[in-house]
Amino acid sequence: MGKTLVIGAGGVSSAAVHKMAMNADIFSEITLASRRKFKCDEIAEGVKQRTGVTIATAEVDAMDVAAVVALIRKTGAELLVNLALPYQDLKLMDACLEAGIHYLDTANYEPEDEAKFEYRWQWAYQDKFKEAGLTAILGSGFDPGVTSVFATWLRKHKLDTIRQIDVLDANGGDNGQAFATNFNPEINLREVLAEVRHWENGEWVPSAPMTKKVEFDFPGVGKKNMYLMYHEELESLKTHFSEIERARFWMTFGDAYIMHATVLQNVGMTGIEPVMHDGQEIIPIKFLKTLLPDPGDLGALTKGKACIGDIATGMKDGVEKTYYIYNICDHEECYAEVGSQAVSYTTGVPAMIGAAMVLKGLWREPGVWNMEQLDPDPFLEMLNTQGLPWQVHELDGPVSF
């Protein structure tokens, strides 16, 4: 159906490219390009073994717009799927505009020298994409991504309005490591240690990281401590569903993770400013990333389940209702299917489905769109058949935490 160029060859990319190859009727030709070609070749080898599909590989620096444009033209791709890092989003959007193809990513732009992720930089591309007749889909992972589509589905089928929404992300997986992040360590630690904000009554309410803790009994996972965090879908959800009074994001962390992250932060290892070491300039968090396990290698070691979803309260025909909509995903089943742990899988599968929506022409409105602005039904139908089945239950009332 369509030629696709995937940029970035990490854990998320590996899961996404495997699932694209398993849907060869939609993804007729796949090229995988990244900074280091051997990483692409390793993924291509795994894809060939598991699916029999051959994918092309290439080396490219995503920050080099001319090089990306040349690669797009060479491959004839009609869609670029950005599974590199948030720092590259704007350059890759520029390359898509120049080459005249559609764009999709899983994380919003963040300047490398400032740990501040916001949508305003990418939203500023709205007119350019509209005028070019091209589509850019932002945040097609699980959170953001599926959690935003879940919210839209609830608002389309179960609720007339959403008054409050909590996104709950539990990873009950154990990888046996003293300390490891389950996606890119640099991006993960910048996110986790950022100032917390949640949306309440028309304003952002700030709080210190890792201070608001609640125990929650997650379906399939069990009781876990979850912490209030800032996450990018809060910004887009409160913008696109303007009736929302309160939007919060929660993620589970074990005590060992909190202890390590706190110590690393206290000693300056998570710093993003360059420091001099033995006459050489280094950026502490980049050095730390080099020391930590590569999340892409944790698949074989991780056991347990993840559960991610939304609890939303709102009105339906004048009556207040609360729903919990979620997916439960098993780390070992993901590994058996595509050689990835559940965090890469739960991000890579929605990236593939978002890309399929564009290639099938179902999500093709020109412009720049967050996931909650698009029709949730075909996306969620495919989520059910592509390894991430979801369920929805009515709760007795709004959350009490």
Residues that bind ligand NDP (CB under 6 A): 7-13, 34-36, 39, 60-63, 83-86, 88, 106-107, 139, 141-145, 183-184, 187, 295-296, 347
The Cα angle at residue 119 between residues 309 and 81, in degrees rounded to 5: 75
- Residue matched to tokens 């009994």: 217
Find the shortest distance in angstroms from Cβ 222 to ligand NDP.
Answer: 22
Find the shortest distance in angstroms from Cβ 33 to ligand NDP.
Answer: 7
The span from the CA of 344 to the CA of 161, in Å, is 32
Find the shortest distance in angstroms from Cβ 350 to ligand NDP.
Answer: 7
Beta strand residue intervals within 275-401, DSSP E: 275-277, 280-282, 305-316, 319-330, 367-370, 390-395
Beta strand residue intervals within 147-239, DSSP E: 161-171, 196-200, 203-207, 213-218, 222-229
What phi and psi values does residue 161 have, to the nearest 5 degrees? Answer: -140, 155
The span from the CA of 222 to the CA of 252, in Å, is 11
Categorise residue 339: left if φ over 0, alpha if ψ from -120 to 50, beta otherwise. left
Find the shortest distance in angstroms from Cβ 219 to ligand NDP.
Answer: 19
2/296 with CB nearer ligand NDP? 296
The span from the CA of 166 to the CA of 309, in Å, is 8
The SS3 of residue 280 is: strand
Find the shortest distance in angstroms from Cβ 39 to ligand NDP.
Answer: 5
23/347 with CB nearer ligand NDP? 347
Find the shortest distance in angstroms from Cβ 175 to ligand NDP.
Answer: 14
9/53 with CB nearer ligand NDP? 9
CA distances from 32 to 17, 54, 107, 156 (A): 8, 11, 19, 36
* Under 8 Å between Cβ of 246 and 398: no
The span from the CA of 4 to the CA of 202, in Å, is 40
31/347 with CB nearer ligand NDP? 347
Residue nearest to ligand NDP (CB): 10
221/251 with CB nearer ligand NDP? 251
142/218 with CB nearer ligand NDP? 142
Find the shortest distance in angstroms from Cβ 285 to ligand NDP.
Answer: 13
The span from the CA of 225 to the CA of 315, in Å, is 29
Find the shortest distance in angstroms from Cβ 18 to ligand NDP.
Answer: 13
313/346 with CB nearer ligand NDP? 346
Find the shortest distance in angstroms from Cβ 147 to ligand NDP.
Answer: 8
109/321 with CB nearer ligand NDP? 109
Strand partners, 82: 7, 105
Look at the chain and count its residues: 401
102/231 with CB nearer ligand NDP? 231
